[in-house]
Structure 1
Amino acid sequence: MSDQTQTEKQPIDLATVSAELRQVIEFDGVPEAMYEMVTSIHEVSEEAVREAWDELPKSAQNVLDSFEQFHALVSVSQSFAGINVMEEFPTLNLPQDMTDEQKEQYRAELLDQVLHNCVKDMVKQLKKARRDPILKRDFTEVFTK
Protein backbone atom coordinates (compact mmCIF):
# COMPACT_ATOMS: atom_id res chain seq x y z
CA MET A 1 0.00 0.00 0.00
CA SER A 2 2.81 2.46 0.76
CA ASP A 3 4.25 1.94 -2.73
CA GLN A 4 0.91 2.95 -4.16
CA THR A 5 0.80 6.03 -1.90
CA GLN A 6 4.27 7.01 -3.06
CA THR A 7 3.28 6.90 -6.73
CA GLU A 8 0.09 8.89 -6.07
CA LYS A 9 1.96 11.70 -4.32
CA GLN A 10 1.90 14.86 -6.34
CA PRO A 11 5.30 16.44 -6.92
CA ILE A 12 5.89 19.77 -5.20
CA ASP A 13 5.02 22.64 -7.53
CA LEU A 14 7.61 25.38 -7.06
CA ALA A 15 4.90 27.95 -7.75
CA THR A 16 3.43 27.03 -4.35
CA VAL A 17 6.56 27.77 -2.29
CA SER A 18 7.90 31.16 -1.25
CA ALA A 19 9.70 33.16 -3.90
CA GLU A 20 12.90 33.06 -1.84
CA LEU A 21 12.85 29.30 -1.42
CA ARG A 22 12.09 28.84 -5.12
CA GLN A 23 15.06 31.07 -6.02
CA VAL A 24 17.47 29.05 -3.86
CA ILE A 25 16.12 25.73 -5.15
CA GLU A 26 16.52 26.86 -8.76
CA PHE A 27 19.90 28.54 -8.19
CA ASP A 28 21.35 25.47 -6.45
CA GLY A 29 19.83 23.08 -8.95
CA VAL A 30 18.08 21.07 -6.24
CA PRO A 31 16.81 17.82 -7.78
CA GLU A 32 13.02 17.51 -7.95
CA ALA A 33 13.25 14.37 -5.81
CA MET A 34 14.38 16.60 -2.92
CA TYR A 35 11.62 19.23 -3.20
CA GLU A 36 9.41 17.55 -0.61
CA MET A 37 12.30 17.26 1.85
CA VAL A 38 13.31 20.90 1.32
CA THR A 39 9.78 22.21 1.79
CA SER A 40 9.25 20.04 4.88
CA ILE A 41 12.47 21.24 6.48
CA HIS A 42 11.55 24.80 5.53
CA GLU A 43 8.23 24.50 7.36
CA VAL A 44 9.48 22.82 10.53
CA SER A 45 12.68 24.82 10.94
CA GLU A 46 11.21 28.31 10.79
CA GLU A 47 11.10 28.92 14.54
CA ALA A 48 14.69 27.81 15.19
CA VAL A 49 15.99 29.70 12.15
CA ARG A 50 14.07 32.80 13.24
CA GLU A 51 15.75 32.64 16.67
CA ALA A 52 19.18 32.48 15.03
CA TRP A 53 18.28 35.38 12.70
CA ASP A 54 17.01 37.51 15.58
CA GLU A 55 20.30 37.01 17.44
CA LEU A 56 22.37 38.20 14.47
CA PRO A 57 23.74 41.72 14.58
CA LYS A 58 21.86 44.08 12.24
CA SER A 59 25.01 44.44 10.13
CA ALA A 60 24.90 40.71 9.39
CA GLN A 61 21.16 40.77 8.74
CA ASN A 62 21.74 43.57 6.24
CA VAL A 63 23.83 41.27 4.02
CA LEU A 64 20.51 39.81 2.88
CA ASP A 65 17.24 41.61 2.19
CA SER A 66 15.12 39.60 4.60
CA PHE A 67 14.71 36.75 7.04
CA GLU A 68 12.92 34.83 4.27
CA GLN A 69 16.11 34.79 2.19
CA PHE A 70 18.13 33.53 5.15
CA HIS A 71 15.51 30.90 5.94
CA ALA A 72 15.50 29.64 2.34
CA LEU A 73 19.30 29.38 2.26
CA VAL A 74 19.33 27.48 5.55
CA SER A 75 16.55 25.11 4.46
CA VAL A 76 18.34 24.04 1.29
CA SER A 77 21.63 23.69 3.15
CA GLN A 78 19.95 21.55 5.80
CA SER A 79 18.37 19.36 3.14
CA PHE A 80 21.67 18.53 1.49
CA ALA A 81 23.31 17.93 4.88
CA GLY A 82 20.41 15.69 5.91
CA ILE A 83 20.73 13.63 2.74
CA ASN A 84 24.46 13.18 3.42
CA VAL A 85 23.77 11.95 6.95
CA MET A 86 21.16 9.49 5.76
CA GLU A 87 23.42 8.18 3.01
CA GLU A 88 26.42 7.76 5.33
CA PHE A 89 24.56 6.37 8.34
CA PRO A 90 24.54 2.74 7.11
CA THR A 91 28.34 2.87 6.78
CA LEU A 92 28.92 3.87 10.43
CA ASN A 93 30.46 1.24 12.68
CA LEU A 94 27.86 1.14 15.41
CA PRO A 95 28.19 -1.17 18.41
CA GLN A 96 26.91 -4.68 17.65
CA ASP A 97 24.72 -4.71 20.75
CA MET A 98 22.69 -1.62 19.71
CA THR A 99 19.03 -2.38 19.19
CA ASP A 100 17.20 -1.11 16.12
CA GLU A 101 15.43 1.37 18.37
CA GLN A 102 18.77 2.66 19.72
CA LYS A 103 20.11 2.95 16.17
CA GLU A 104 17.05 4.97 15.11
CA GLN A 105 17.43 7.20 18.17
CA TYR A 106 21.10 7.73 17.40
CA ARG A 107 20.33 8.53 13.76
CA ALA A 108 17.66 11.05 14.82
CA GLU A 109 20.09 12.73 17.24
CA LEU A 110 22.83 12.78 14.61
CA LEU A 111 20.48 14.31 12.05
CA ASP A 112 19.24 16.89 14.55
CA GLN A 113 22.82 17.88 15.35
CA VAL A 114 23.73 18.21 11.68
CA LEU A 115 20.69 20.39 10.99
CA HIS A 116 21.51 22.55 14.02
CA ASN A 117 25.10 22.90 12.80
CA CYS A 118 23.85 24.09 9.40
CA VAL A 119 22.12 27.01 11.09
CA LYS A 120 25.22 27.81 13.15
CA ASP A 121 27.43 27.63 10.05
CA MET A 122 25.10 29.88 8.03
CA VAL A 123 25.11 32.41 10.89
CA LYS A 124 28.91 32.34 11.00
CA GLN A 125 29.16 32.75 7.21
CA LEU A 126 26.70 35.65 7.22
CA LYS A 127 28.74 37.41 9.92
CA LYS A 128 31.91 36.91 7.83
CA ALA A 129 30.14 38.24 4.75
CA ARG A 130 29.88 41.67 6.37
CA ARG A 131 33.61 42.15 5.78
CA ASP A 132 34.15 39.89 2.78
CA PRO A 133 32.79 41.31 -0.49
CA ILE A 134 33.19 37.99 -2.32
CA LEU A 135 31.29 36.04 0.33
CA LYS A 136 28.65 38.78 0.45
CA ARG A 137 28.21 38.48 -3.31
CA ASP A 138 27.87 34.69 -2.94
CA PHE A 139 24.96 35.26 -0.57
CA THR A 140 23.22 37.94 -2.60
CA GLU A 141 23.68 36.62 -6.15
CA VAL A 142 21.20 33.83 -5.42
CA PHE A 143 18.46 36.46 -5.16
CA THR A 144 19.55 38.82 -7.96
CA LYS A 145 19.19 36.41 -10.87
Structure 2
Amino acid sequence: MAVIKTNSNDRKLLARLMRAEAEGEGEQGMLMVGNVGVNRVRGNCLDFKGIRSLEQMVFQRPGGFEATVKGYFYQRARDRDLRLANRVINGERVHPASNALWFFRPTGACPGQWYNQPNSGRYKNHCFFSPTQANCSNIYNTY
Protein backbone atom coordinates (compact mmCIF):
# COMPACT_ATOMS: atom_id res chain seq x y z
CA MET A 1 0.00 0.00 0.00
CA ALA A 2 1.31 3.45 -0.92
CA VAL A 3 2.55 5.63 1.94
CA ILE A 4 1.96 8.81 -0.05
CA LYS A 5 -0.69 9.74 -2.59
CA THR A 6 0.55 9.24 -6.15
CA ASN A 7 -0.58 8.73 -9.71
CA SER A 8 1.25 7.28 -12.70
CA ASN A 9 2.84 10.64 -13.59
CA ASP A 10 4.13 11.03 -10.02
CA ARG A 11 5.67 7.57 -10.15
CA LYS A 12 7.41 8.37 -13.42
CA LEU A 13 8.68 11.65 -11.99
CA LEU A 14 10.11 9.95 -8.90
CA ALA A 15 11.65 7.20 -11.03
CA ARG A 16 13.38 9.79 -13.22
CA LEU A 17 14.65 11.66 -10.17
CA MET A 18 16.04 8.50 -8.56
CA ARG A 19 17.89 7.56 -11.75
CA ALA A 20 19.21 11.06 -12.42
CA GLU A 21 20.46 11.57 -8.86
CA ALA A 22 21.90 8.13 -8.13
CA GLU A 23 22.12 5.75 -11.09
CA GLY A 24 25.86 5.44 -10.48
CA GLU A 25 25.09 4.23 -6.94
CA GLY A 26 23.11 1.23 -8.20
CA GLU A 27 19.66 0.14 -7.11
CA GLN A 28 20.39 0.65 -3.39
CA GLY A 29 21.51 4.22 -3.99
CA MET A 30 18.48 4.92 -6.15
CA LEU A 31 16.18 3.53 -3.44
CA MET A 32 17.83 5.85 -0.92
CA VAL A 33 17.18 8.90 -3.10
CA GLY A 34 13.59 7.70 -3.32
CA ASN A 35 13.44 7.46 0.48
CA VAL A 36 14.55 11.08 0.77
CA GLY A 37 11.87 12.16 -1.71
CA VAL A 38 9.06 10.24 -0.04
CA ASN A 39 10.21 11.49 3.38
CA ARG A 40 10.04 15.09 2.17
CA VAL A 41 6.42 14.59 1.10
CA ARG A 42 5.50 12.73 4.30
CA GLY A 43 7.40 15.04 6.63
CA ASN A 44 5.64 18.40 6.31
CA CYS A 45 8.42 19.78 8.49
CA LEU A 46 11.52 21.96 8.44
CA ASP A 47 12.44 22.97 4.85
CA PHE A 48 9.57 20.87 3.49
CA LYS A 49 6.49 22.38 5.19
CA GLY A 50 3.67 22.49 2.70
CA ILE A 51 5.28 19.98 0.32
CA ARG A 52 2.37 17.61 -0.18
CA SER A 53 3.06 16.00 -3.57
CA LEU A 54 5.94 14.40 -5.43
CA GLU A 55 5.80 17.13 -8.07
CA GLN A 56 6.12 19.88 -5.43
CA MET A 57 8.98 17.98 -3.82
CA VAL A 58 10.95 17.36 -7.02
CA PHE A 59 10.71 20.94 -8.27
CA GLN A 60 10.94 22.75 -4.93
CA ARG A 61 12.94 25.98 -5.20
CA PRO A 62 15.09 26.64 -3.31
CA GLY A 63 16.03 23.32 -1.81
CA GLY A 64 15.08 21.00 -4.65
CA PHE A 65 17.20 18.57 -6.56
CA GLU A 66 20.10 19.53 -8.80
CA ALA A 67 19.20 16.83 -11.32
CA THR A 68 16.09 18.72 -12.45
CA VAL A 69 18.24 21.27 -14.25
CA LYS A 70 20.08 18.61 -16.26
CA GLY A 71 18.85 17.02 -19.48
CA TYR A 72 19.29 13.47 -18.20
CA PHE A 73 16.43 13.97 -15.74
CA TYR A 74 14.01 14.59 -18.61
CA GLN A 75 14.50 11.21 -20.28
CA ARG A 76 11.66 8.69 -20.09
CA ALA A 77 11.49 6.52 -16.96
CA ARG A 78 12.60 2.95 -17.62
CA ASP A 79 10.81 -0.14 -16.29
CA ARG A 80 13.56 -0.81 -13.74
CA ASP A 81 13.36 2.79 -12.49
CA LEU A 82 9.58 2.53 -12.14
CA ARG A 83 9.86 -0.72 -10.16
CA LEU A 84 12.29 0.97 -7.75
CA ALA A 85 10.04 4.02 -7.40
CA ASN A 86 7.09 1.76 -6.61
CA ARG A 87 9.09 0.07 -3.87
CA VAL A 88 9.74 3.33 -1.99
CA ILE A 89 6.22 4.65 -2.62
CA ASN A 90 4.99 1.43 -1.04
CA GLY A 91 7.08 2.02 2.07
CA GLU A 92 10.42 0.29 1.55
CA ARG A 93 13.10 2.03 3.58
CA VAL A 94 16.84 1.64 3.15
CA HIS A 95 19.37 2.71 5.79
CA PRO A 96 20.97 5.27 6.04
CA ALA A 97 18.20 7.08 4.14
CA SER A 98 15.29 5.55 6.07
CA ASN A 99 14.47 8.83 7.79
CA ALA A 100 16.69 11.18 5.78
CA LEU A 101 15.51 14.45 4.29
CA TRP A 102 18.83 15.48 2.74
CA PHE A 103 21.82 14.01 0.97
CA PHE A 104 24.81 15.29 -0.91
CA ARG A 105 28.05 14.11 -2.44
CA PRO A 106 31.07 15.52 -0.59
CA THR A 107 34.58 15.70 -1.93
CA GLY A 108 35.88 13.93 1.19
CA ALA A 109 34.47 12.50 4.38
CA CYS A 110 30.88 13.09 5.43
CA PRO A 111 30.53 15.89 7.95
CA GLY A 112 28.90 15.07 11.28
CA GLN A 113 26.14 17.57 10.50
CA TRP A 114 24.86 19.43 7.47
CA TYR A 115 22.74 22.53 8.03
CA ASN A 116 22.43 21.47 11.68
CA GLN A 117 21.05 18.04 10.77
CA PRO A 118 22.86 14.91 12.00
CA ASN A 119 24.60 12.56 9.60
CA SER A 120 22.76 9.24 9.41
CA GLY A 121 25.40 7.53 7.29
CA ARG A 122 27.05 7.19 3.93
CA TYR A 123 26.36 4.97 0.96
CA LYS A 124 29.06 4.98 -1.70
CA ASN A 125 29.43 8.66 -2.70
CA HIS A 126 26.43 10.14 -0.88
CA CYS A 127 26.10 11.28 2.72
CA PHE A 128 22.59 11.24 4.25
CA PHE A 129 21.20 13.50 6.95
CA SER A 130 18.13 12.87 9.09
CA PRO A 131 16.35 15.27 11.40
CA THR A 132 15.64 14.26 14.96
CA GLN A 133 12.27 12.74 15.72
CA ALA A 134 11.45 15.87 17.73
CA ASN A 135 12.01 18.04 14.62
CA CYS A 136 10.13 15.86 12.15
CA SER A 137 8.05 13.13 13.74
CA ASN A 138 6.04 12.27 10.60
CA ILE A 139 8.95 10.52 8.92
CA TYR A 140 9.49 8.36 11.98
CA ASN A 141 5.92 7.07 12.00
CA THR A 142 5.61 3.48 10.90
CA TYR A 143 3.30 2.57 8.07
| TM-score normalised by L of structure 1 | 0.30
* Bigger strand share: 2
Structure with bigger gyration radius: 1
TM-score (norm 2): 0.31
